[in-house]
Structure formats: C-alpha cells, structure tokens
Amino acid sequence: MDSRQRRRRRIPTVLQHRHPRPGAASGRLAIGVDIGGTKVAAGVVDGEGQVLAQEVRQTPGDDPTEVERVIAQLVRAFADSYAVGSVGVGAAGWMDLDGGTVLFSPHLAWRHEPLRANLQALLGRRVVVANDANAAAWAEWRFGAGRGQRRLVCITLGTGIGGAMVTDGRIERGNWGVAGEYGHQVLVPHGHRCECGNRGCWEQYASGNALGREARELAEANSPVALEWLRAAGGQADAITGAMITALALDGHAASRELLEDAGEWLGLGLANLAAALDPGMFVIGGGLCEAGDLLLEPARHAFARNLAGRGYRPEAPVRPAVLGAGAGLVGAADLSRF
C-alpha cells in the first residue's frame, strides 16, 4: 500500500462518527461550511458548538466551480484569523458512501461532483464533507434539542426539505450513502413537479419554496389576499419568497398565516409517515422556515397526531424546534471534521 492509499484510508466517513470520548480532540477550533440552495454560510466553531465568527454569501448555484471558489475564499479568510484545526463542509445533495462526491443536488448544479477532492486541492488541507442535513442533525444531537436521544430524526425546512437520523451516536446513511432524503417521499401522486424529477414530493408542499410558490400563484391570479405580498415584493409577483411570507405572518398578516398553516399540515403528514417507518424517539425541526415558530409547528403537531398510525395505542414522538437555528449545519460540519 503506497502513502497516498494510506492517507486516503485515514479519512473517516460520516458513517463512522460517534459521540466523542472524554479527552477526544473536540476542543479545537474548526471551520464549518453549510452550502444550501440559496446561500453559503461559513463560521469558526469551538468544541462546545459555539459559533465565534460567521459569514454568509449567496450561492452561485449554476456554477459548481464558482461554489467551490466561494467556499475556499471563506475558509482561507477564517484560517488567516483563527488557529483552526480542521474544516468540515455540509453540502445540499446526495453524497456517496465515502463522503467525497456529491452524486446529485436538486437545487445546485452538482452531478457526480468530486467536492472533497476539489476543495482539498484548492485549500491544501484535509476537508470532511457531509450531507448538509446530516451535519445539522449531528449538531442538534451533540449540542441542541436532541442531545442524548437514542433515535433522533431531524428535518430541515429551507429551499427544500432535508432529513437525517442519528441512532446510538451514529448517522444513518443507508447502503449507498443517500439515506435521509425524506423530502422526496411522494405524498401526492401526479402532484407538483419537483427538481428531483418526480411529482408530488413532500418538499413541494412543506418547504420555503412551496410557500413562495403558493403565494406567487395567488398573486398572478390577482387574488385580493395577495395585495400585501405584492406590496412587499415591489409589485413583482415573481419576487415573492417564502421568507417574505414568514415575515408577514409573524407580523400578523392573515393570508400569510393561512399559507403557513397549510405548510404545517403537510409537514405533519410527512412526519406521520416517517414515524410509521422509523419510530424515532423525537423529531427535531430546523431550517429557515422554522423562524415561523408555532405558526408552523402547531398545525404540524396536530396533523402528525391525526395521521399517526396506531394513534392512541402507541407512544407519540415529540416534535420539537431545533435550538441551533440556521447555524446548525455549519456547527455540525465543523464538529464532524474533528474526528
């Protein structure tokens, strides 16, 4: 075995990461990067999951090389200012089992993209790459709402829907490395077309994109309930976003709250399906859409309880909001890079 092969074998996969032993090298500073459909967030994270510094940039989603260049710029800038020991990247896409290649990303132009090798070449240092939802779930299990849970399912609601499960301190990655793509369970046959190529996927009904799409369709139909959305978007229906709807709902706008309630009901239905298949001890819900708080989660809890198989005769997993907020992905990616 040559030296290059030995180095390659020392790079762990996410499947091997377990809760660190006392005295493990978890106290070092690490850089975490979270790559989503609309933004790249990077930060310096300490061994307790605290973000010491952070920067966010827009994702140049149609150019894989440019995405990697932005990541490298952010990492270099932080490495110049902090004594960091490792770099972890959470990527929005389906990873291979080795954690080196993004096989497919519904919201980015990655198709069999050798992300880890490209970043290591740009940075001249080891990089650990994980699915972004896996990274967020790891962070919530290590430092957040799901700390210590034996079987935890995390759902991230952003541009789409990501998901992951941590069981006995191990991220479940499946046979091929692509487990946890819960957002692409088909809830509505022949429903809305999804970026993954199918129709009726869960994320087409309970994500930030879905929220914005529903509002834009009402605006384009000249619905009177859309007047406030159009005003907020400068009169341009195609500029209405899910984040805009969430902000208006939090300000008390009735039609925005109705759309969030609809999304929450779809969320709860999907959770009930997952409970039937996975039987977790807890669901933790994170991502940008969760800024709506109970406006989204209360209808989700009601729909979950109403659609749960065997309801009334089985334990019901609690549905809790994530506590690490939008930074969970980069916190988890940084922590995974330490081991």
Q: Which DSSP state fits 181?
A: -
Rounded to whole angstroms, the Cα distance separating 130 from 333 reads: 7
Determine whether 314 is exposed, middle or buried from the number of CB atoms within 10 Å of its CB (0-12, 13-18, 19+).
exposed
The answer to whether residues 111 and 154 belong to one domain is: no
Verify that 223 and 264 share a domain, yes or no: yes
Q: Which of 114, 112, 116 is nearest to 90 (CA)?
A: 116
Please give the angle made by the CA atoms of 46, 51 and 54, to the nearest 5 degrees: 130
For the chain, which ranges sit under pLDDT 50? 1-25
> What tokens appear for 172 in the block?
């479940």
Give the three-state DSSP class for 283.
strand
On whether both 278 and 200 belong to a single domain, the answer is yes
Q: How far apart are CA 132 and CA 134, in angstroms?
A: 5
194's CB contacts (< 8 A; 6+ apart) are 106, 184, 200, 201, 203, 204
Both 244 and 129 in one domain: the answer is no
Residues 217, 282, single domain; the answer is: yes
One domain for residues 185 and 271: yes
Distance CA 38, CA 31 (A): 20
Longest dimension (CA), the chain: 70
For residue 225, the enclosing domain spans: 150-322
Q: Are residues 284 and 180 in the same domain?
A: yes
Phi, psi dihedral angles at 39 (to 5 degrees): -150, 155
Domains identified in the chain, total number:
2
DSSP for 114-161, please give it.
-HHHHHHHHHSS--EEEEHHHHHHHHHHHHSTTTT-SEEEEEEESSSE
What's the rounded Cα separation, in Å, for the pair 286 and 273?
18
How many Cβ atoms are within 10 Å of 98's Cβ, its own excluded? 14
Question: What is the structure's pLDDT at 136?
Answer: 94
pLDDT of residue 61: 67
Distance CA(18)–CA(21), nearest Å, equals 9
Strand partners, 34: 41, 90
Phi-psi bin for 222: left (phi > 0), alpha (psi -120 to 50), beta?
left
CA distance linking residue 102 with residue 115, whole number of Å? 7
Asked whether residue 184 falls in the same domain as residue 83, the answer is no
Q: Are residues 163 and 85 in the same domain?
A: no
Name, in order, each residue with C-beta under 8 angstroms of 189's C-beta and a sequence gap of 6 or more: 199, 200
Assess whether 135 and 180 both reside in one domain: no
CATH code of the domain covering residue 250? 3.30.420.40
The pLDDT of residue 108 is 85
8 Å CB contact between 41 and 54: yes
Examine the domain organization and report whether 102 and 168 are in the same domain: no
* pLDDT tens digits, one per residue of 106-163: 878 899 999 999 999 999 999 999 999 999 999 999 999 999 899 999 999 988 999 9
Q: Are 26 and 322 in contact (CB under 8 A)?
A: no
Query: What is the model's pLDDT at position 27?
Result: 59
Partners of 30 in the beta sheet?
Answer: 45, 86
User: Do 198 and 118 share a structural domain?
Assistant: no
Calculate Rg over the CA atoms of the chain.
Answer: 20
